[in-house]
Structure 1
Amino acid sequence: MFKKQTVFLSLCFLTASNVLAGGLVTNSNQSASFLRNPARDAVIDIDGVYTNPAGISFMSLGFHLGFTLQHPEQERNITTTFPTLAQNINHLGESTHKFHGKASAPIVPSFQAAYVWERWTAMASFAFSGGGGKCEFDNGIGSIESIFSLLPSVAQMNKIPAKAYSLNSFMKGRQYYLGIQMGAGYKINDRLAVSAGLRAIIGTATYTGYVKDIALHAADGTKLPQAYLSPIMQAMGDPSGTGEIDMTTDQSCIGWTPVVGIDWRINDHWNIAAKYEFRTKMALKNNSTMNDFARSQPTLDKFNDRKNEKIRDDIPTTITFGAQYSPISTVRINGGFHFYDDCNTVKYNNEEELIDHGTVEFLLGAEWDATKWLTVSGGWQNTSYGLSVEYMQDMSFNCSSNMLAIGVRLKASEKISVDLGYMHNFYKDKTVETTVNAAGMELAKKDVYERTNAVFAIGVNMDF
């Protein structure tokens, strides 16, 4: 008879963390212009279809088109310290393990178009307006391995001569919110314009993970027979005795975001603008393929279509303000403020209650027309998340950051220009320390969350 110790194999396959700029599930990086100067909230340009839709009314009459291709390179690393990780056969004696997650996309496209009449403006855009992006952990994540690392201790309590463990673990998450926006603007007079639009959000996500090839090892490294492991795993709730987890879940839904804006050209030097995006209900429908042991795990309920047909992951209300000051015709200085009301969304298992305050961003930027065909620009963005310690988990974490951007606009002709931009995020590491009561032991656990992010972009703008 095997004792069922105070340890459970409750594994965490959680939402991929945000890979883009903006709030928790909001992306404000939708053009190459943003990468060369992120303070776009009061800029009058074609990318304003997203950043300043009311300002489109002040563009020249006719048709305007913008197209961008971006290439992001990102990493997310979690360094986990947990005493029993030292029992990993491949890292004996090492209680600190680094779990490396990498995400990259060859191309991320976006598109904006507008037609300007004397008073009215029609506009449309296509871009990835939110979601968590994607991340892949080839060696799994610490929250999973920490639990399996307890197996030798449980085995020893049951007179099994196990001193180490081994496993094969993998985790991948992908979440994208594709936005298709239509809108209209109206120029009240030569100084004031307003806009209204509607963005359709097509949400898709896929989560894949497994834990397999679980084994116990003797002090000399010899792999112990499966007969030693099976009774322990059966006592933990897996009739097969293998302890293997296998899961793939697809999620999808459609949401709708109303957007309103206003732009006031105070004089030839000052322009200010504001935008309000309403909260978007996102109820993602689960379609899961899971083995029985995976379906029995409470922390996998979020991805289990038999327990949750749909899960909520709303996009928050977003408020932006911007100002542009042009002391001379060839220089523009920009400032902006963003607020994402994350606390007043609806998320699975009331996760919004673990957020201390909504995401806040401050932005500064400047542009200089060095010549008739060359504009040089740069900018800064500070992003502050209000996430509690309880919110931070392996695949559901964000780190506050400072972002620097630089780039140029090359004017090929009177009708065509090319944007080249680069941005780099400097993230603040987040350390979370907890105590785990398991297998009759009280164990200290520490996780250090790190991120890197760099994005290159090229954009083409055309006026007709």
Structure 2
Amino acid sequence: MKKTLLVLSFGAFAITSLAGGIVHNTNQSASFIRMPARDASLGLDGVYYNPAGLTQLKDGFHLSLNNQYITQTRKIYTNFPGLNRDGFEGNVVAPLFPSVYAAYKTGKLAFSLGFNPIGGGGSALFEDGLPSFEMQVAGIPGSLSNAGIQTTKYSFDTEFEGRSVFYGVQAGASYQVNEVLSVSLGLRYVMLNNSYKGHLSDIMINPVFSALNYTGEMVSAPVFFGELSGYLGNVSANLGAVGSSLQPVLDGGGGNVPLSNGTSAGLTAQEVATLQGTIAALGGDPSNMTIAEAQGFFVAASAGYAANSQAMAGNAAATRDKEVDAAQSGTGIVPIIGVNLKFERFNIGLKYEHKASIKVKNSTKVDDVGLYPDKAEVPSDLPAMFTAGIGFDATEKLKVSAGLHYYFDKNA
């Protein structure tokens, strides 16, 4: 029997509410629904999109409160062979997606504050788990069949819910250098919160293994692997005992005697026949073996069965019910610089947000998969981002806008 060892684990999962980089959200204003290209905005949502453009506001205090109710259906498809399904569906819900902006403009200066979900902002519930979960279970029948135990089916119960949000609180100052050029400088304090909750349980398979009276009915995978481990352990012990029983023959000088002539070294004819039959059943050729070689064969076979027994014990542990209930939190600082160029009929906004180096700390209630050790810290950086936008007043009633976003995701 070939040694087959399985490893089952939960994978981390991040939720992004709308388009952007792998982390960033760009829907940071209710006006985004009407005009997604906000990067040259001269309105109050410029606190986020184009802070240097705030110098174009009228003097005085300005306040904006927004909220978006966001729902999405996430569908994940896979062509991984052997799965019971090729599609997995999750529902994303973000009932609160607020954007709060305030600015005070006086002369050539503008001071601003902002609060919004910079990244994430929702939860995703996959009632049938994720492909990465089922892939691990789906491999069990093939692995067992390759090891000589015919198995064709599997079943299990799973569910996964992930939540992720990067809240940002920012402050900045903008200055109008001249009629065309304005610049800005700001800082954003980022608060990251993730949570992962799910389970993978009741793994069932249908092995055919007559030695343990398994006939192809669906049975508990960990129970089967546990019993198989015990069976292989007993076989290992018995083979080891046979090898040890030949030691007196070797001590008496009969090690080089052909096994087929073992009666001349003190073995009975029945013992010789049993040894030869067992060796043949295990895939060996006893015809040319000496008694010493026969002993070595049994010792090696015993070690092989012991290793398989340990592997099956590992499979029993790997297929037991798994649960995870963990949260992560961390903070970071993002410096923000901006430039705005205002011309008669068009406006250009430029912004660069630096990378935020963030380490999140685990707060774990249950971690059967060993991925979220309690109080451990792991990096979860917020990548840098560059945006450029242009707004053109084609007529008094028509404005054309375009934007470009570049996310430095590979450097995070």
Class of the TM-score when normalised by the shorter of the 2 chains: 0.7 to 0.9
Determine the C-alpha separation between the residues in 1 that align with 2:228 and 2:16. 37
Q: Does 1:230 align with 2:226?
A: yes
Partner of 2:411: 344
Corresponding residue for 1:205? 194
**Distance apart, 1:284 and its partner CA:** 1.1
Shift of 1:159: 6.2
Q: Deviations over 1:234-273 (max 9, x none)?
A: 726266575221112211001110111111212x212212
Higher helix share: 2
Matched, 1:113 2:102: yes
CA contact (8 A) 2:201 2:321 kept: yes
What TM-score, normalized to structure 1? 0.64
Partner of residue 14, structure 1: 12
For the residue of structure 1 that corresponds to 2:219, the secondary structure is coil
2:241 aligned partner: none
| Amino acid corresponding to residue 391 of structure 2 in structure 1 | Q
Residue 227 to residue 342, structure 1, CA distance change in 2 (3 Å): closer
Q: Which residue of 1 aligns with 2:36?
A: 38
- Contact 1:192 1:265 (8 Å CA) reproduced: yes
Distance 1:264 1:154, change over 3 A: closer
Please give the secondary structure, in 1, of the residue aligned with 2:53.
Answer: helix
The separation in 1 between residues aligned to 2:187 and 2:390, in whole angstroms, is 24
Q: Comparing both structures, which one devotes a greater share of its residues to strand? A: 1
Which of 347, 363, 372 is the aligned partner of 1:287?
A: 363
Q: Would you say the 8 A contact 2:8–2:319 is kept in 1?
A: no
The partner residue of 2:347 within 260, 263, 271 is 271
Matched letter for residue 115 of structure 1: Y
5+ residue gaps in structure 1? 86-90, 346-464
- Partner residue of 1:4? 3
| Deviation (angstroms), 1:136 | 1.6
- Structure 2 SS opposite 1:150: helix
Q: Secondary structure at the match of 1:237?
A: helix
CA distance in 1, matches of 2:160, 2:9: 11
Distance of 1:327 and 1:103 partners within structure 2: 38
Contact 1:178 1:203 in 2 (8 A): yes
Does structure 2 retain, via aligned residues, the 8 Å contact 1:230–1:242?
A: no
**Alpha-carbon contact 1:201-1:255 (below 8 Å) kept:** yes
The answer to whether the 8 A contact 1:16-1:132 is kept is no
Please say which of residues 209-218 and 109-118 is displaced more in the overlay: 209-218
2:137 corresponding residue in structure 1: 148
**1:26 maps to what in 2?**
24
The residue correspondences of 1:67-216 to structure 2 (distance < 5 A) are 67-85=65-83, 96-131=85-120, 133-156=122-145, 162-216=151-205
Change (3 A) 1:329 1:244: same
Aligned residue identity for 1:258: P
For 2:93, the aligned partner's letter is S
Q: Which residue of 2 aligns with 1:333?
A: 400
Query: Are the aligned partners of 2:97 and 2:121 in contact in 1 as well (CA < 8 Å)?
Result: no
CA distance in 2, matches of 1:164, 1:343: 41
Larger Rg: 2
Alignment correspondent of 1:444: none
CA contact (8 A) 2:6 2:318 kept: no
Identity %: 33
Give, in whole Å, the separation in 1 of the partners of 2:152 and 2:6: 19
Distance in 2 (CA, whole Å) between partners of 1:100 and 1:236 is 34
Do 1:192 and 1:263's aligned partners in 2 also have CA atoms closer than 8 Å? yes
Q: Is contact 1:20-1:133 (8 Å) kept?
A: no
Query: CA–CA distance in 2 between the matches of 1:47 and 1:271?
Result: 15
- Is 1:318 matched with 2:368? no
- Structure-1 residue corresponding to 2:338: 261
Task: Supply the distance in 2 between the matched residues of 1:278 and 1:130 (Cα, whole angstroms).
Answer: 15
Contact 1:24 1:132 in 2 (8 A): no
Contact 2:151–2:216 (8 Å) recurs in 1: no
Deviation at 1:84, TM superposition (A): 2.7
- 8 Å CA contact 1:112–1:126 kept in 2: the answer is yes
TM-score, with normalisation over the residues of structure 2? 0.72
1:65 is the counterpart of 2:141? no
Q: Which has the higher contact order (CA 8 A, sep 6+)?
A: 1
Q: Contact between 1:164 and 1:221, CA under 8 Å: does it hold in 2?
A: no
Shift of 1:138: 0.5
Compared CA separation, residues 320 and 240, structure 1 to 2 (3 A): closer
Distance 1:238 1:222, change over 3 A: closer
**Residues 125 and 181, structure 1, Cα contact 8 Å, conserved in 2:** yes
CA distance in 2, matches of 1:331, 1:83: 53
Contact 1:4 1:236 (8 Å CA) reproduced: no
What is the aligned-residue RMSD (CA, Å)?
2.5
Structure 1 residues 262 and 114: alpha-carbon distance in aligned structure 2, compared to 1, 3 A threshold: same
Q: What whole-Å deviation, never above 9, does each CA across 1:20-63 have from its counterpart, x for those lacking one?
A: 22111111111111111011111210100000111111111111
- Residue 58 of structure 1 aligns with an amino acid whose one-letter code is Q
SS class of match (1:213): strand
Structure 1 distance, partners of 2:364, 2:328, is: 9
User: Is the contact made by 1:183 and 1:197 (CA closer than 8 Å) also made in structure 2?
Assistant: yes
